[in-house]
Structure 1
Amino acid sequence: MVVIKGIEYYLPEQTELNNSGDKLTDKIGINQRHIAKKDEFASDLGIAAANILFEKNNISRTDVDYLIYCTQSPEYYLPSTACILQDKLGLSTSIGALDVNLGCSGYVYGLSLAKALIQTGQAKNVLFITADTYSKFINNQDRSVKPLFGDGATATLLSESSSIYGLQSFVFGTDGTGMNNLIVPAGGLRNPISEFNLQEEIDSFGNVRSNSNLYMNGPEIFNFSLREVPKSINELMEKEGFSIEDYDFFVFHQANQFMLEYLRKKLKIESDKFSIQVNDCGNTVSSSIPIALKRELLNGKIKKGDRVMMVGFGVGYSWAATSIVWHE
């Protein structure tokens, strides 16, 4: 089986508070977000998370033989940031290293890639890093996204094991027709940064943004999530031969409290079996599931032998679900 040997996370020191007592703040359940400094980038956060993983879990860098880096905030078009991370983390030059451009579903996708690499004998120990700095895409006057997103990074080590526990089945989904509902329209080769794309406009709700900023159609993202997440969960349960009651704990992408509670009630999941970890860090995109997973492990909510379901969903549209039987 393939097991998670360790998970750690890093949040930038700089923080921003949402308006306490504000109606929106109460609804989304996010009071504080961690924001990268001007000269602090996603790879810097990823390096910090990986170093914590090595130090706290007594993991040798020489044991890593593959590196997967998931981000939508790369510093360069090329080279792959994973190559830069290999050097800065002091990893062997004999490893494989690649970038994955995925957001809210990225952690589950990365787990599936790591499992495949290990089970096919291509790797024994995969270091999987997630890191995003969405704050650098957000206009400070855009209240539709600014209170939601925080920056952060995680590092997970996956290894082969003779244990009967570990990662189980996966299901995936993709629907590119939703691409324009969560997008940074300008900045790539199709629509480069220009004077035109830097011009700010005010929408009907008073939010200010340019084409170089993050845009999210909140209602459409919400509808997509309510449509596809339950379907993917039912598909996973059918694949594994279980019902919702057979899972001991649930860690979904931490979009916001309102969406999570809506999904929890729709799926009839007990509140004490369901993770909500957004209050002090917000939506950290690809890092949201592993941050929540680590915190629930520390809280004692997840124990050895527990069957934990993880579901990622969002930008793309892209979604994925998996389960893991915890081995420690």
Structure 2
Amino acid sequence: MTPTPRPTVSTVQIRIDHHSAVHLAAATARALAQQCAMPGAMPDQAAVLASELASNLDKHASAGTLYLQPALLGGGLEILAADDGPGMPDLRQALTDGYTTTATLGAGLGAVARIATDFTIRTQLGTGTWACARLAPPDTQQPSQAIGSLCLPVETEQDCGDACAAADTEDARTAIVIDGLGHGPRAAEAAQTALRVFHRTHDHPLADILTTMHRALRRTRGAAVGALRLWPAQAQFCGIGNVRAAVLSHHATHRRLTGQPGVVGLNMPAPRTHSIPLEPAATTVLYSDGIDERWTHSPSRFLLQLPPGLQALALAHSYRRTRDDAGVLVAKAPGNPRA
């Protein structure tokens, strides 16, 4: 199965620190939907989703941020919202049309749930709220709840040197996180070169994918790369450089793996592939060194029990190192009983 090429833009981040940011969020979502060639009224629907989620952050949250990006699998786009606010005491009531605590029409989250192709939201009192609204054309593969990712550039840069991708075959899911050396345009060039190789070779053995990338990246500054292949009861990991993997259950971190020393495109050793047994409902995380690895030491039960899309959001929002590009991908295997 050949993956549908995704637009090669990084995640767009909009901090909702003033009411004017709500209008920026709507305009950005409309433009991104148009870039994704979403038909008919869907760009306007994307603008409504972004406006409602941003308005909710503006009214109720602290340190609220909206993230917008093309969907990793399937068509369309994702609009994600994260905050460090008080949380919602009654999420079901908050999703009811007409419910409001601020003397407004209260269309907010109820409208998001109706318009979005898929809407996932979790909240915890005293911690915050995490939400992901996916919007996809009806004739495309529906967005997958069993995978999520974000790639964020250094705060002073527009180009992102980290990239994520995934592709499904009949019996497995293959995912990759690429970290171009350094940051800025040259790091982004290396990451996008590696990404193009992945789209051509995603069904090859993992070590062969990295070897092909090594040849393609020789005229770039190089990259760290972590590749993952998931089956319902087993995973394989193959990595070069500082891209890490972690295997999670709903209760704990069970495995931590780091790529071999080296740089793909410059000084890569012969890549080794590691096999990892997976328990039912296990989740696997790939992440670059722009995500602080200390999150694996004692993750909260709330974080561990988030679905993959919201887990990626929580890691990028709460554990990102803002002085480096950051990429994180969270996935379950296809056929996983809780995927």
**TM-score interval (norm. to shorter):** under 0.3
Normalising by structure 2, we get a TM-score of 0.26
Structure with bigger helix share is 1
Normalising by structure 1, we get a TM-score of 0.26
